[in-house]
Structure 1
Amino acid sequence: MNTVPDLLDFDEMLSAEERETRDRVRAFVAEHVRPFIADWYDRAHFPVEVIPGLAGLGVFGMHLSGYGCPGRTAVEYGLAAMELEAGDSGLRTLVSVQGSLAMTAIHLHGSEEQKQAWLPRMARGEAIGCFGLTEPGSGSDPASMTTRARRDGDAWVLDGAKRWIGLASIADIAVIWARTDEGVRGFLVPTDTPGFAATPIAPKMSMRASIQCDIALTDVRLPLDAELPLARGLGAAFACLNNARYGIGWGVVGAARDSYATALAYAGERRQFGQPIAAFQLTQQKLVDMALEIEKAQLVALRLGRLKDAGRLQPHQISVAKLANTRAAIAVVRKARTILGGNGVTAEYSPMRHAANLESVRTYEGTDEIHTLVLGAHLTGIPAFRAADPS
């Protein structure tokens, strides 16, 4: 039985270098994550112990070039995201927050001094970053943010709150988005700055092997050069979010594939009525349905990767992958759990864990509703929601 569905010879569409990158990350997950993830999840333990190994794989800022970053292709980064999320969504989120959000913000919008100071250390996993955009009262509508930054002589002073900020309690540097008199701007805030406080959100029913935090900013005083000089308006933040959303389009396929593989193996071993349940027609239908959804999602992700590497990827195309592939992954992991029967609710098997995680994944980096409206606006030319304030 093939535990990785490949009905369409997907591997033939990958280069040897792409397959090598994928297999290297897959091997790391098999050795350093899979044997321990059920326990980490059960204990709500964030595995900081894997950070050096991930840095050694070159997955932090994987798609960025220069400043010690690996400079790999978009497709390679996507394949790595898929393998990481096959281990757990929290693992892919760690890499996404570090690389696609925090490091990308510095790489795209930072000064030369800021890039030199932070990117090499972050690529090596020696410094951890977070990305503070979402607020308690503004999730899907970041234009309504209330966090403010004001000039006070030769300093910026930040006040406000952020919520659901990945890695904030272990981060060394925070990218904080705030409203100024000139519009929305980005700032680099060392997390040991007086007035900065990050508190993990707990208890959680999802993403338990991951960290999400509330951030409080109280009279946080920063030098003028803490501002990201090229971060002008919400479009600067969205440029980072689109990189993260791209990675999700790949990552969720890994969660689906791992759930399918778990269900397939179980169906071959579990015997009822004198034969393995894989011999029953209804079980085979479930397995086929799952395999087809995984195949389609992989093709969508690969198409986006090729477009991104060619410099032609459009924001609405990222919404296609984030919306469609996450929906497909949720359907797959739920169906996989049914094959496992009652045993499927135990930590021994992964689909229930993936199902819980994917409920978070479908919400962050744009909810189903937001991506639906992005695509609706593209198809009709009529935005059905208030446009974001470009300032």
Structure 2
Amino acid sequence: MAHIYDYAIIGSGLTGLSIAAALSRETKNIALIEGADVPFGVNKKVNFPTGPMNNGLRFVPDSVLSEKALRFLENLLNTKVVDTVSEEAPITYESGGFKTFLGFGDTPPAFYEELAYFTSSKRLDLAMEPYEWTQALFEKFQGEFMQRSYVTKFHQEGEKVTHVTINGSKTLHAHNFIFAGTVKDLAILLPDDAISIRARSKLSKNTYWTALCLDICHAKPVTDSTAMHILNGTTQDEIGPCAGRFLPAVETENGPLQTSQWMTFIEQEVTEDSEVVGMALKKIKRQIKRAYPEALDNLKLERIFVAPIIAGNGDIKLSANMTIPELENLWIASSTVNEQKNLVGSLLQAEMIIASLGFKVEASEEAPGAEATI
């Protein structure tokens, strides 16, 4: 008889790992299913000439919801994640000098909501970096990790998912399924009767945004500024602005070096178009050079990568408890369905799923209450 897991979690990025670590307080009968060779998703460690760092630009704006999200993470890890709150307005480069960034006026980019996340004048400085979050979360996971495992179909009986097909042939059964993958994939994965043809079409054709990232190791320190830079140039184009900032300079055996990390967004459907990607990268470099004329001289290293479908919710309709209405045991944990963006949205979506499952994460044991505490 086939083994039946209590929970099958699809996707081991920040959201999936947060849910996996939380549920591991309750049971070890969990399958964590990941298509890649390793967990962590986009929040993995990168080794650079200046030392280990995040896989691209990371930022947490200071807000009530950000504090809620990181409090959930601190309770889950039982360790301090937030160090201090800093106030430093984002800057831009105009008319030969740096100025406080005040917004895009009447011409916001198509990906305004994604970029606006980086424009807060107050930020949470971290005692623990996002790549360290995912490592610590994976260490707390107690179930079975299934790498190089792609879910290719959900199967239902009545109003419940009974099992999934993995890699086109293997079958995995569970009482509860939590999908923390790319929401667009649900158009293919969901059973025929789970959503309408119109909803499936929306999932396929909705606008999704991919983050295009550029990490640069400069041959010498460029600036002492730690402010977020929003750079766009003087002419409007289809590519739009970029966000980025410089990390503190580091003394190495080859002298002082400095890293900067930059990000812009392109539509998912043109992610494979080398011409579009090339134009976007050239614009990022052009704006850096415009603001810092010598910054790109004799670069030690540059690293280009994409984070596919970092935004776009597919207009999918979910129940109040984040399940597919026709499938009562399939929870959608994809971070892009959360109203909040980026790291904050990922953590809040994980917390919402845990609450929907009837649990609440606390840092220490508390007296039993209305909710189960894990």
TM-score, scaled to structure 1: 0.27
Q: Which has the higher contact order (CA 8 A, sep 6+)?
A: 2
Higher helix share: 1
